[in-house]
């Protein structure tokens, strides 16, 4: 269990984290999402005792990291895969960490095997690709067989094989009952690995909800309809009053395709029926977390005084709006 409570961290005048609070319980993958500079890495650094909080606390199992007697046996972390001495072999690097934390040296060969670096164990890290360093960092995190795992942007720089491996590893670790806290600035990645989402923007907490709720709450995905009577249908749709999903907006995507915002597929179908417009295709696109996230950060921007109020991702060409 990780607990972040009223955490604030300032670097001089810059506020990196601003009164942030959330919990990361065991047994599920908690995604930590936010744009670059949102305070994710800072929060993780404070959690791991590397930076001191300006105020508030970040606790592991109820204690500050620095008060845990054998910390790497309780928390495994990968913050920066390139933070290794290039002149040391992978084996020597892990052996030093094992000796420092009282972990049996035999674990070194085990974790190297697990991350697929057994063949290059005696090679110097300087010759490793970023993907191999990322695996080495994961190996170091797993060394103490910890119940809590913290990964900062673990898929950065990995090839597809590596990305798939990380996703499976993260899932397996959570299924084993461990606490898994993974940060990313990639919404699509979070959607694939996280059960629960903590979203930060500008150092503040924006969302702390299950993944499904986040998607449902933050997206109003449009309905796509294909009809040979596009003009007729668009005209009728524009007379429908604003519904539960907000104002109605129709975009003409061309080729007889309309994209309808603010209505459910049933309402679009009923409107078409009433208008006598023939419908060849009618569907609601699966909402991506990417979309939810963009809408979310757009809102955050508005809160902080940003000017843009235009809907994200909308192609304004031939859009018929009704207010």
Partner 1 sequence: MTATARSFTRSVAEGPIAPAAAPSASRVLVRALAMEWTKLASLRATWWCLGLGLVAMSAFALLMGVSTADRFAEDPVAASGFSYAQLTSQGVFYLVQFVVLTLSAMAATNEYSTRAVITTLQTVPRRGLVLAARTCVTAGLAFAAGAVTTALGIGLLWSVVGSHARLDPGYALTTVLGAGGCMAVLAVLFTGLGTAMRGTAATIGVGFLLLIGIPLVLQLSEVQALNDAAAYLPGTAAIEVYAAGDVGFYTAPHDGPVNLATVLGWAAAAQIVAYTELRVRDA
User: Minimum distance from CB of 24 to partner 1 (Å)?
Assistant: 15
β-bridge pairing 148-152 and 179-184: parallel
Binding piece for partner 1, criterion CB under 8 A, among 164-172, 187-195, 211-219, 222-230: 164-172
140 sits near partner 1 (criterion: CB under 8 A): yes
- Helix residue ranges per DSSP H, 102-129: 106-114
15 sits near partner 1 (criterion: CB under 8 A): no
Site string for partner 1, 81-110 (x = CB under 8 A): -xxxxxxxx--xx-xxx-xxxx-------x
- How far apart CA 254 and CA 185 sit, in angstroms, is 33
- Select from 23, 80, 235, 257 the one that contacts partner 1 (CB under 8 A): 80
- How far apart CA 206 and CA 47 sit, in angstroms, is 19
- Select from 4, 33, 34, 74 the one that contacts partner 1 (CB under 8 A): 74
248 sits near partner 1 (criterion: CB under 8 A): no
* Positive or negative: CA dihedral 110, 116, 117, 120: positive
266 sits near partner 1 (criterion: CB under 8 A): no
- How far apart CA 251 and CA 320 sit, in angstroms, is 6
- Select from 8, 19, 35, 73 the one that contacts partner 1 (CB under 8 A): 73
Q: Is 97 or 215 the residue whose CB approaches partner 1 more closely? A: 97
Total chain residues near partner 1 (CB under 8 A): 58
Q: Could you please report the per-residue DSSP string of 191-244?
A: HHH-SEEEEEETTEEEEEEEHHHHHHHH--PPEEEE-TTHHHHHHHHTTSPPBT
User: Minimum distance from CB of 202 to partner 1 (Å)?
Assistant: 21
Sole residue written with tokens 């304004």:
316
- Backbone phi, psi, residue 22, to 5°: -170, 170
Which residues on adjacent β-strands are paired with residue 4?
22, 58
- Select from 28, 133, 178, 261 the one that contacts partner 1 (CB under 8 A): 178
Site string for partner 1, 38-57 (x = CB under 8 A): -------x--xxxxx-----
User: Per CB under 8 A, which of residues 195..224 are in contact with partner 1?
Assistant: none
- Select from 12, 36, 119, 310 the one that contacts partner 1 (CB under 8 A): 119
Sole residue written with tokens 């929060």:
43
Site string for partner 1, 228-247 (x = CB under 8 A): --------------------
- The H or E element spanning position 6 is strand 2-11
Burial 303-314 (b: 16+ CB within 10 A, else e): eeeeeeeeeeee
3-state secondary structure of 53: coil
Q: Is 105 or 254 the residue whose CB approaches partner 1 more closely? A: 105
Sheet holding 281-284, edge to edge: 281-284, 223-226, 257-261, 249-254, 320-321
User: Per CB under 8 A, which of residues 144..163 are in contact with partner 1?
Assistant: 145, 147, 161
Binding piece for partner 1, criterion CB under 8 A, among 115-123, 187-195, 250-258, 265-273: 115-123
Q: What residues line the site for partner 1 (CB under 8 A)?
A: 26, 45, 48-52, 65-66, 68-75, 77, 79-80, 82-89, 92-93, 95-97, 99-102, 110, 113-117, 119, 132, 135, 140, 142, 145, 147, 161, 165, 168-169, 172, 176-178
């Amino acid at each position: 269990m990780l607990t972040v409570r009223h955490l604030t961290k300032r670097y001089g005048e810059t506020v990196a984290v601003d009164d942030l609070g959330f919990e990361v319980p065991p047994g599920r993958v908690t995604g930590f999402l936010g744009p670059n500079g949102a305070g994710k890495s800072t929060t993780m650094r404070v959690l791991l005792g590397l930076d001191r909080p300006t105020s508030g606390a970040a606790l592991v199992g109820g204690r500050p990291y620095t008060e845990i007697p054998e910390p790497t046996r309780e928390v495994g972390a990968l913050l920066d895969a390139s933070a290794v001495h290039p002149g040391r072999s992978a084996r020597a690097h892990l052996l030093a960490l094992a000796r420092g934390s009282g972990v049996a040296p035999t674990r070194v060969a085990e974790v190297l095997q697990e991350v697929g670096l057994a063949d290059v164990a005696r090679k110097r890290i300087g010759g490793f690709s970023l993907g191999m360093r990322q695996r080495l960092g994961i190996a170091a995190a797993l060394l103490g067989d910890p119940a809590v795992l913290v990964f900062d942007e673990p898929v950065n720089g990995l090839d597809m094989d590596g990305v798939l491996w990380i996703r499976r590893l993260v899932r397996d670790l959570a299924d084993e009952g461990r606490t898994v806290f993974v940060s990313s600035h990639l919404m699509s990645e979070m959607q694939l690995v996280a059960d629960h989402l903590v979203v930060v923007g500008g150092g503040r907490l924006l969302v702390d909800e299950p993944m499904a709720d986040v998607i449902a709450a933050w997206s109003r995905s449009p309905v796509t309809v294909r009809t040979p009577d596009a003009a007729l249908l668009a005209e009728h749709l524009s007379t429908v009053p604003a519904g539960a999903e907000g104002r109605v907006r129709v975009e003409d995507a061309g080729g007889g395709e309309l994209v309808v915002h603010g209505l459910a597929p049933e309402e679009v179908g009923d409107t078409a029926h009433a208008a006598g417009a023939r419908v060849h295709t009618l569907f609601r696109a699966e909402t991506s977390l990417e979309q939810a996230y963009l809408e979310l950060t757009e809102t955050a921007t508005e809160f902080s005084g940003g000017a843009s109020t235009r809907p994200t991702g909308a192609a304004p060409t031939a859009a018929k709006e009704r207010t």
